Amino acid sequence: MDYIRITSIDDPNFRKLHNLMGEIFPPEEVLAYELWKEPLEDPSIRVFVAVDGDKVLGATEYRYYPDWNIAMTDFTIIGKPGLSLGRFLAQNRLKDLQQLANKNGKELHGMFAEIYDPYRVEHHEFGGVKVMDPYVRREVLSHLGYKRLDFSYVHPSWENNGEAVTGLDLCFMPLDDELKSLPTNLVKDFLTTYYSILSNKPKEWLEMIDRLGDKGEVTLLPL
């Protein structure tokens, strides 16, 4: 198994990856093929695939923000069970992020992720791939150390149609297990930067950002 970075939509592995995304994720979670050109060429966005022979069996996309010394996991895809793909991707991702943080003269602070809450939304089947089942993914991410940020979360649809996507939690995996909260300004600044590519923000998202206000800290809760 090889861990290979994709930096162009012309890479044959990207077509395989985009097809895999379309098979597993709901349509509103998949950015249109042509809109991937700039993100893939952005050095801060890191898209890696797990390749076995000529097959893309899994993938992960993430990014590192040196100013905040945090990362964001955009997605992790496991396309086939029984190959320890989850561990392969998670271990290689963390190793890569730790190297980026070290180049920044720091130890990685932690990583954000959006996580479906299947106890609220049960209709996402994720292509029928059982290891991508939201109940399984949520428990795995809990085991990895992710914690839920204590506020009601929505995000803009990646279809850029102004719709709000619900049924998720914004979570954070601190590298320090004793961390109990995050500065509210960090959360707001991160979300504003992360979704800057989408011009059509839903009012629910804008209201959420306003509600965060300047209350100082956002508590990290068990997932």
pLDDT of residue 126: 57
Check: pTM over 0.75? Answer yes or no: yes
Q: Check residue 175 and report its DSSP letter.
A: S
Give dist(CA 3, CA 59) in Å, integer: 9
Specify the amino acid at residue 51: V
Rounded CA separation 35/138 (Å): 28
The boundaries of the domain holding residue 128 are 2-221
The residue among 74, 73, 80, 83 whose CA lies nearest residue 110 is 73
Q: What percent of the chain has pLDDT over 70?
A: 94
The mean pLDDT value of the chain amounts to 89
- Tokens for 206? 């804008």
Which pLDDT score is estimated for 24? 80
Closest CA relative to residue 151, chosen from 76, 205, 201: 205
Weakest-pLDDT range from 26-30, 172-176, 203-207, 215-219: 26-30
- Which ranges constitute the DSSP H helices of the chain? 12-24, 37-41, 85-103, 134-144, 184-194, 203-212
- Residues in contact with 154: Cβ distance below 8 Å, sequence separation at least 6, in sequence order: 164, 165, 166, 168, 202, 204, 205, 208
Q: Helix H segments across 10-163?
A: 12-24, 37-41, 85-103, 134-144
CA distance 60 to 46: 8
Encode pLDDT of 38-93 as tens digits: 989 998 899 999 999 999 999 999 999 999 999 999 888 888 888 888 899 999 99
- Cα–Cα distance between 138 and 115 in angstroms, integer? 7
**C-alpha pair distances (Å), 67 with each of 26, 64, 71, 215:** 32, 9, 11, 22
CATH number at residue 121: 3.40.630.30
As a whole number of angstroms, the distance between CA 11 and CA 201 comes to 31
- Please write the tens of the pLDDT for every residue from 113-159: 998 887 776 555 555 566 667 777 888 889 899 999 999 999 998 87
CA-to-CA distance for 5 and 61, rounded, in angstroms?
Answer: 10
**Domain count of the chain?**
1
Alpha carbons 138 and 144: distance in angstroms, whole number: 10
